Structure 1
């Protein structure tokens, strides 16, 4: 089977629609400048994404350049709102416009150093306790199990204190890989749904030449993917949350996707990886599994 990089994605603002790239530099921190900005709930003093502020997914963002801005870690970006309005991240109006969109007072923040732990800390829970909070994020019904066994134990401990690993705005690990085979499989389970790569927010979408159907990438757990000189270790499956059901652009809200993932796919689709060897990825690149 021949695997090929079909699409590369980067998401300048956490929980907003991203930008497709022809090529991407990757390192230990994932795709360069991925998730460089995030929204912070000022009342809760906590980073919030579309798990709680679903309106964010109706916005899109793209970087204005690949030059680090005066915030010190990432470039400035341009955000497009659902009504077509465009505002740059260095425009003071951005905080008020985002607050109006999501219906609470929020501010937009660039990445902060990992040492600024309070910025990343869970300072207030929406539900009052951590397990209820996790179940809400994963959109689980009362009779549906919560399985965190695929998460490395040290990551679970970290994410009971911090919204994201400090120094990042990633939910878990720095790079996500999805195959067209997995999307075809989910489409067979949900023939009336619109299964689109944008719902699953990967960094890398892989195509194959065999019309394979099934969770192909789950076969690579514990293995490595070779993209030319770049090496990526496949670490864990990616548990899915309410974000896959959110409305964005022409994709309608679709709660059946979540129920099907929980019932038939142990709530997972795609895999998380760690970069073993830095370098450049590009669309059309062949991929080897070893």
Structure 2
């Protein structure tokens, strides 16, 4: 059954940096191509994220070349001051030392070794346009989708908010090849309180999600069949 189409595709080459919206991308077994393939860990081997360093969200990472299976394109990082740095070079490392303010290791996972569920729970996080609109209404402020770090926004034919939460255990086909299985709710944390523009916190958004949505917004999906997806691809709900 046709339920809608792909409205936005977002991947995050660097964990906890703002990601990039793309016209098309490969869907790998672990999720969108290169999603969370690069990260930072502290001296204890724990990921450093927006939770510990809210200012990370003000850095935007993009792949600067074509997707390849044997290597990643170069990652360009736009800093809050507008400079564009390259992942791994000396200037970038110096900037990160100032940002993180602690001993940290730079982590790059190969295509074969990106942790399954690099976004903590499952491979892909999606939400519908109707759900974003409803949360804007509930919160009383415009919702910046970057707060939620989703991979896909689906524009649904039925504009019923949170309809995607009725699909647990069911499969979506995107375009001709890609197939996902909808698994569970995404339980939210303080990360959504951080404004991607200036890294300032507004606890009222999380309070709204807790009160109105039992702390749920968006759904996790695992990859059943890989392939390529593009903006505008039709989305089908399978029996």
User: What TM-score, normalized to structure 2?
Assistant: 0.89
Pick from 189, 197, 202 the counterpart of residue 145 of structure 2. Answer: 197
How far residue 166 of structure 1 moved from its aligned partner, in angstroms, is 4.3
| CA 1:255–1:277: 2 relative to 1, 3 Å | same
CA distance in 1, matches of 2:48, 2:110: 15
User: Which runs of 5 or more structure 2 residues have no equivalent in the other structure?
Assistant: none
What secondary structure does 1:47 align onto?
coil
Please tell me whether the aligned partners of residues 111 and 169 of structure 1 are also in contact (alpha carbons under 8 angstroms): no
Q: How big is the shift at 1:255?
A: 1.2
Match of 1:262 in 2: 210
- Give me the whole-angstrom Cα distance separating, in 2, the residues matched to 1:28 and 1:87: 29
Give the root-mean-square deviation of aligned CA atoms.
Answer: 2.4
Select the residue among 114, 117, 123 that pairs with 1:174. 123
Does residue 157 of structure 2 align to residue 188 of structure 1?
no
Q: Distance in 2 between matches of 1:200 and 1:67?
A: 25
Residue aligning to 1:274: 222
> What CA distance in whole angstroms lies between the structure 1 residues aligned with 2:212 and 2:56?
28
TM-score by length of 1: 0.74
> Which one of 100, 106, 109 corresponds to residue 108 of structure 1?
106
Aligned to 1:40: 41
Q: How does 1:8-157 map to 2 (within 5 A)?
A: 8-42=9-43, 44-66=44-66, 74-111=72-109
Deviation at 1:76, TM superposition (A): 2.9
Higher strand proportion: 2
- 1:271–1:279 Cα change, 3 Å: same
Q: Number of paired residues?
A: 236
Question: Residues of 2 paired with 1:61 and 1:110: CA distance?
Answer: 14
Deviation by residue 1:66-90 (Cα, 9 ceiling, x = unmatched): 3569xx7633301111111221013
Q: Which runs of 5+ in 1 are unaligned?
A: 116-164
SS at match of 1:49: coil
Q: Secondary structure at the match of 2:209?
A: helix
Tell me the residue number matched to 2:170. Answer: 223
How far does the alpha carbon of each residue in 1:190-214 deviate from its partner, in whole angstroms, 9 at most, with x for none?
11x221211111111011244x242
C-alpha contact (below 8 Å) 2:116/2:122 kept by paired residues? no
Q: More relative contact order in 1 or in 2 (CA 8 Å, sep 6+)?
A: 2
Alpha-carbon separation, structure 1, partners of 2:45 and 2:181: 34
Three-state SS of the structure 2 residue aligned to 1:48 is: coil
Which structure has the bigger radius of gyration? 1
